[in-house]
């Protein structure tokens, strides 16, 4: 028997005993302190199971501890039922059956009990609308509670009831609460505005486009729910408290983004509070201001030529990036800097480096954060906004333990920042990484990007490395083939090296090398004749014989490659010696190869040989050969056309690029003066902190908001200071 079962049995025992003591008053019966402590600490816990009768009895009890224990038990069952998601509805049916008993406790003064009742009410109000409506009167009474926490809970609970009929009551309540003295209540009103809008949209419109049109129409109708809620949000956007302003900005971004009439005269105030906002609000307001500034401000080239609000924003952003480590905020700062201050960018290198710094205290989504940071840095490099210094290269050296996505992002950036001063460091780092890595995907990825660096400028180091590892990975050979393809005549020595080890490579690499040899044959007479070119040209006839000897065992692609190579040799032989080609050994080799291809099992090979039989002489009559010789020029031209060179590796699509794109629309210059007048028209800055002297000993607080000649302010008159007097002084006065 567990502790809670023992405690429960003891509780029932003493309860039954006190009922039998008729001559004694049960209230005067006291238990030993040790037993009382044991019962109170172990009677209810997570493992306790209550019958329906016990639950109802506990909810109707006059003891707050019992009510709290029962409600906590019910909330635990609800949460457990949501996790199981069994779909049998047993927990839901149980709660609905006792829903009136739960709602009866909504008038309690105990804050813990009230919170639990609100939680259950918000979850099941739509299933018991009649009972839920009975609780509205009690919730409205809590709106006048002296405790600001009770008022905040009440307005959030009232707005969470999913019954459209309460919208008029909600609007009246919000009209009062948005001017509450507590910032906690006012921020709760902002959240309630969002809930009201969602409730209104849920029962009126479906779909994002329809909702957008509905909001636009509602803002134009002064009697609509949307319009009244927008006026309340307008009041909250004028608040001087950073918490209230943060929540209000998030609600604006969620619902009214793009409807700038709510913002025009508040831009300066919001900018002045930028560093005080929370990270979510900073991200949202910077995204809003990026579009707003491009749309409603005239273009400027230098900061000193910009309006005062823009200058203040620039100073705020420069201060913000010094201590801000939130990746989302940094990304938003980079976006507005590159879009608005293109010619006045600060040290963007240091700002961008913050995106890839690991935060070991927040390991959740760390990989995604660094990945998006790398994509952002890559975007800034492509756009020319930043230039990575040699001292910052160590941030982008890939590690063996890095995930494949981050590994690729770092390698891609290294490829884009390589230059004369750092190519030896970068190439050396990639070569060491290739040798150390045991992950095949990472090795191939590093080699593919290393292949891109095989250029006349940086290729010598890489080629020496590749020649020592040709047989370890086929990507090395692919890199050399791509490099030789750019200038075959200038890299005959490398081609000879590959041909010497041709039969040690796999079939795909063999096919690529044989294709290179075909290109070499078709243009060999145009190359500068030297010993290497002559040696390779003379060896090709013997190579063709060796290739044909094992022709039947090759795959289709390699067979077609060998056929094309030998056919190009035949073309070169005919052009070189038109009279004696029929008696040459190469012609007999070509004839034998054509016969092999004619009976091959692959239709691709048979189609290829049919083309060559039409173009080149092949064991036919004299007149037929003469006709083909006249059309020989066509055959030569077919295989001398310029080939498009493609480097290895595929560029990954950047998700950050879409985020960085901003509107290209501009307002008609004739309206700029009108909107400048709107921004300077002023508003009522709601600085509730000025009235704290009425209930604190600190006196009136000075406002920290933006001062403006056109801004209306509440002026607090100097109040006399009262001092504690003695009774004699008081009577004497």
Residue 394 has pLDDT above 90, yes or no: no
Q: Which of 349, 276, 344 is nearest to 316 (CA)?
A: 276
Return the domain boundaries, the chain: 491-641
* C-beta of residue 713 within 8 angstroms of C-beta of residue 686: no
- CA 27/CA 18 separation, integer angstroms: 9
Whole-angstrom Cα Rg for the chain: 41
Report pLDDT for 573.
Answer: 79
Tell whether the model's pLDDT for residue 464 goes beyond 50. Answer: yes
532-576 per-position pLDDT tens digit: 888 888 898 889 899 888 888 899 989 999 998 888 888 887 777
Total-model pTM: 0.72
> What pLDDT is stored for residue 281 in this prediction?
93
Structural contact between residues 241 and 249, judged by C-beta atoms closer than 8 angstroms: no
- Distance, in Å, from the CA atom of 472 to the CA atom of 539, rounded to the nearest integer, reads 27
Cα angle: 693, vertex 695, 696; to 5 degrees: 65
Q: What percentage of the chain carries pLDDT values higher than 70?
A: 78
Q: In the predicted model, is pLDDT for residue 282 greater than 80?
A: yes
Rounded distance between C-alpha atoms, residue 379 and residue 364, angstroms: 25
Cβ atoms of 289 and 313 within 8 Å: the answer is: yes
Query: Average pLDDT of the chain?
Result: 79
- Residues 510 and 558: beta-carbon distance below 8 Å: yes
Residue with token string 């949501």: 82
pLDDT tens string 290-323:
999 988 888 887 888 888 888 999 889 888 888 8
């Amino acid at each position: 028997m567990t502790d809670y079962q023992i405690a429960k049995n003891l509780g029932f025992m003493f309860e039954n005993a006190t009922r039998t003591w008729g001559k004694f008053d049960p209230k005067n019966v006291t238990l030993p302190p040790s037993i009382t402590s044991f019962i109170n600490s172990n009677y209810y816990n997570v493992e306790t199971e209550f019958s329906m009768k016990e639950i109802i009895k506990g909810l109707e009890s006059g003891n707050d501890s019992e009510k709290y224990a029962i409600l906590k038990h019910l909330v635990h069952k609800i949460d457990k039922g949501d996790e199981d998601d069994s779909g049998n509805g047993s927990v839901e049916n149980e709660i609905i059956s006792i829903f009136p008993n739960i709602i009866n406790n909504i008038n309690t003064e105990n804050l813990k009990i009230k919170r639990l009742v609100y939680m259950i009410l918000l979850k099941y109000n739509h299933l018991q609308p009649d009972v839920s409506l009975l609780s509205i009167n009690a919730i409205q009474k809590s709106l006048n509670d002296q405790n600001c926490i009770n008022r905040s809970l009440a307005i959030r609970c009232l707005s969470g009831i999913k019954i459209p009929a309460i919208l008029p009551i909600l609007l009246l309540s919000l009209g009062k609460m948005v001017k509450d003295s507590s910032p906690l209540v006012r921020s709760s009103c902002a959240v309630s505005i969002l809930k009201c809008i969602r409730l209104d949209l849920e029962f009126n419109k479906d779909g994002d486009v329809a909702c957008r049109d509905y909001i636009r129409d509602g803002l134009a109708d002064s009697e609509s729910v949307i319009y009244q809620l927008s006026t309340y949000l307008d009041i909250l956007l004028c608040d001087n408290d950073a918490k209230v302003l943060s929540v209000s900005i998030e609600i604006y971004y969620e619902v009214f983004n793009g409807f700038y009439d709510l913002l025009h005269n508040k831009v300066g105030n919001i900018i002045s509070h930028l560093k005080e906002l929370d990270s979510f609000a900073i991200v949202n307001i910077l995204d809003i201001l990026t579009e707003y500034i491009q749309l409603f401000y005239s273009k400027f080239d230098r900061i000193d030529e910009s309006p005062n609000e823009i200058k203040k924003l620039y100073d705020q952003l420069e201060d913000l990036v010094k201590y801000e480590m939130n990746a989302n905020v940094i990304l938003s700062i980079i976006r507005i800097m590159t879009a608005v201050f293109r010619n006045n960018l600060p040290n963007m290198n240091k700002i961008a480096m913050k995106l890839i710094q690991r935060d070991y205290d927040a390991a959740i989504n760390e990989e995604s954060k660094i990945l998006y940071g790398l994509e952002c840095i890559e975007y800034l490099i492509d756009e020319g906004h930043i230039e990575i210094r040699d001292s910052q290269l160590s941030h982008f050296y890939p590690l063996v333990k890095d995930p494949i996505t981050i590994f690729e992002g770092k390698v891609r950036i290294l490829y884009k920042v390589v230059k004369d001063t750092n190519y030896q460091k970068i190439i050396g780092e990639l070569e060491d990484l290739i040798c150390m890595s045991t992950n095949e995907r990472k090795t191939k990825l590093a080699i593919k990007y290393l292949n891109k660096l095989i250029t006349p400028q940086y290729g010598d180091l890489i080629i020496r490395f590749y020649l020592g590892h040709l047989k370890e990975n086929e990507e090395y050979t692919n890199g050399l083939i791509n490099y030789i393809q750019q200038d075959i005549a200038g890299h005959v020595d490398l081609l000879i090296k590959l041909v010497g080890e041709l039969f040690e490579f796999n079939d795909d690499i063999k096919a690529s090398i044989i294709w290179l040899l075909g290109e070499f044959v078709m243009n060999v007479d145009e190359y500068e004749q030297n010993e290497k070119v002559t040696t390779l040209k003379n060896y090709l006839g013997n190579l063709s014989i060796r290739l044909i000897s094992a022709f039947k065992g090759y795959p289709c692609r390699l067979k077609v490659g060998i056929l094309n190579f030998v056919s190009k040799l035949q073309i070169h032989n005919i052009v070189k010696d038109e009279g004696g080609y029929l008696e040459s050994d190469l012609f007999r080799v070509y004839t034998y190869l054509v016969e092999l291809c004619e009976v091959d099992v692959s239709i691709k090979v048979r189609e290829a040989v049919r083309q060559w039989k039409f173009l080149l002489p092949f064991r036919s009559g004299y007149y037929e050969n003469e006709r083909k010789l006249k059309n020989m020029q066509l055959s030569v031209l077919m295989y001398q056309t310029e080939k498009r060179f493609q480097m290895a590796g595929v560029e990954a699509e950047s998700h950050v690029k879409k985020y960085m794109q901003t509107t290209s629309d501009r307002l008609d210059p004739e309206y700029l003066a009108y909107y400048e007048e709107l921004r300077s028209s002023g508003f009522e800055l709601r600085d509730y902190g000025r009235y704290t002297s009425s209930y604190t000993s600190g006196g009136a607080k000075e406002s920290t908001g933006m001062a403006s000649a056109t801004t209306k302010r509440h002026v607090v008159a100097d109040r006399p200071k009262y001092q504690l007097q003695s009774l004699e002084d008081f009577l004497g006065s």
